[in-house]
Amino acid sequence: MTIVNRHYPPNPGITGESAWDLARYLIDQHGIEVVVVHIDRTYDGGGAVRQPVGEMHAVKTIYEGKNGLIRLLAGLLDGFFLIRQALKVRKGPLLIMTSPPMLPFWASLLLRKTPYWLWAMDLFPEGFAAGGKVSPTNPVYQWVIRQTYRNAPKRLIALGPRQATHILAKYGRDIPVTVLPCGVLMHQERDPNWPSWRTKNDEFIYLGYAGNIGQAHSATFLESIVLNLDPTRFRLVLALYGTKADEILALAKNRNGIICLPNIPRSQLHYFDIQLVSLLPEWTHIAVPSKAMSAIGSGSPILFCGNSDSDSYGLLSDASFFIDAAGNIDEQVVSFYKTLNKALVLQYKQKAEQLSERLQDYVKQGYEEIASLC
């Protein structure tokens, strides 16, 4: 199998870790040869630094700076170079992921005579419209959308059944589907040593937001969590990066009961009582936050702020508290704080552990299905 994605360990980032997890499973469990084509650069992501597996082919990017417009243009070219390299070195099925953003566009354009599979993470160019960077009625955008969905993959790997339905409607045809929730890793360790940010057996309920707070996420939700926090009952741990991180961290600075950290390893996620996840309604199905799956996979329930139609809630509702992003967020956050207690947290943590086992089985079935087709 050949996997094509922008990120791959030892560089962090959940899409790369997902590719690594699948690659390791295919190699360890079935002895399948795995080739990975990726961009040779770093990424400001969370998680563990993993040792790569498989045969790697790194493609140099033309730009590694911070200028947004130049990065966007470089990303467009990165996708072209990744597909070109993959055609040179590929072995077995060609599995195209969705990072950099225009990678599916290049796959549709360049792989007309080459069968490929699509592993859908965040969807672009739709994400540009959802983020307000381009109007959905823009003629260039509409042309890119048509081209992206013109040449359908032979198999779709989606983050959830609702995202799969959304994507199949875009292609306008039936495609075999495998569902692989992003963030549920088969090889996820749990650190037995209590982290420095949590005191063992204290009276507080620990809430945590660890990860990206970017265009697809609700800063309003996290601001409400910060402003309505009761430090006599709760501890809020923030390890943020992304476009909206600075404004949240500035608001949280020097507030009692809030702990700000540069990073939290995935191996420590199970020490949270509840993890916070958000997705703006306009990003429903375009993104499915991996931190929701990572949280449940670690045994923590989540408080999800978004649309109830999202796979983040549909797959995880048994172990999720919910805030409707279209409603009054402040009122719902205040109500959440009032109803939460240690007994309820324990009840939901037990549900999360049970759901975590089901998700692991779900992912294993998906991996086995992929292995049987390699």
Q: pLDDT tens across 274-314, in order?
A: 999 999 999 999 999 889 998 998 999 999 999 999 999 99
Domain co-membership, 274 together with 324: yes
Structure confidence by residue, pLDDT tens digits, 317-352 = 999 999 999 999 999 999 999 999 999 999 999 999
**217 lies in the same domain as 173:** no
pTM of the model: 0.88
> Has residue 345 been placed in a domain?
yes
* Same-domain pairing of 224 and 144: no
Q: Do 223 and 114 fall within a single domain?
A: no
Sign of CA pseudo-dihedral 332, 333, 339, 340: positive
Is residue 350, in this structure, part of any structural domain at all? Answer: yes
Q: Are 65 and 71 in contact (CB under 8 A)?
A: yes
Decide if 299 is inside a domain. yes
> Is 187 among the domain residues?
no
Spatial separation of the C-alpha atoms in residues 291 and 273, rounded to whole Å:
14
Average pLDDT, the chain: 92
Listing DSSP states for 147-196 in one string gives HHTTS--SEEEESSHHHHHHHHHHHTS---EEE--TT--TT-----SPPT
User: Would 302 be classed as within a structural domain?
Assistant: yes
231 with 338, same domain? Answer: yes
pLDDT value for 334: 98
Domain span at residue 97 reads 2-180
> For the chain, what is the radius of gyration of the CA atoms?
20
| 108 and 174 fall within a common domain | yes
Residue 245's CATH number: 3.40.50.2000
Domain end (from 141, 164, 180): 180
pLDDT for residue 73: 79
Q: What residues form DSSP beta bridges with 57?
A: 37
Structurally, the chain folds into a number of domains equal to 2
pLDDT at 51: 85
Q: Both 9 and 142 in a single domain?
A: yes
212 and 169: one domain?
no
Is the same domain home to 95 and 210?
Answer: no
Question: In terms of domains, do 35 and 151 share one?
Answer: yes
